Amino acid sequence: MKILVTRLLPPETQARLEQQDVELIQWQHDQAMPRDTLLSWVQGVDGLLCLLTDRIDNEVLDAAGPQLKVVATMSVGYDHLDIPSLKARNIQIGYTPDVLTDATADLTVLLTLAAARRMKEGIQAAETGEWREWRPTWLCGSQFTGKTLGVVGLGRIGEAVAKRMKAFGIHRVVYSGRSRKIEAETALGGADHVPLNELLQVSDYVAVCCALTDETKDLFDYSAFSKMKPSAVFVNTARGGIVKQDDLVRALEEHKIAGVGLDVTTPEPLPTDHALYRFPNCVILPHIASATMETRERMASMSLDNTLAALANQPVPYGV
CB closer to ligand DGY, 154 vs 200 = 154
User: In the complex, which residues of this chain contact ligand DGY (CB under 6 A)?
Assistant: 52, 75-77, 100, 289-290
d(C-alpha 50, C-alpha 93), whole Å: 11
Least spacing, CB of residue 239 vs ligand DGY, in Å: 7
Contact (CB, 8 A) for 244 and 225: no
Q: Are strands 172-176 and 192-193 parallel, antiparallel or unpaired?
A: parallel
d(C-alpha 282, C-alpha 260), whole Å: 5
Question: What DSSP designation does 29 have?
Answer: S
d(C-alpha 85, C-alpha 91), whole Å: 9
Phi (first) and psi of residue 237, to 5 degrees: -120, 20
Least spacing, CB of residue 6 vs ligand DGY, in Å: 14
CB closer to ligand DGY, 103 vs 257 = 103
Element counts in the chain: helices (H) and strands (E): 12, 12
Assess whether 193 carries a catalytic annotation: no
CB closer to ligand DGY, 38 vs 289 = 289
CB closer to ligand DGY, 71 vs 252 = 71
Contact (CB, 8 A) for 119 and 260: no
Catalytic residue among 29, 171, 255, 287: 287
Least spacing, CB of residue 290 vs ligand DGY, in Å: 3
**Secondary structure (3-state) at 226:** helix
Query: Mind telling me the catalytic residues?
Result: 287
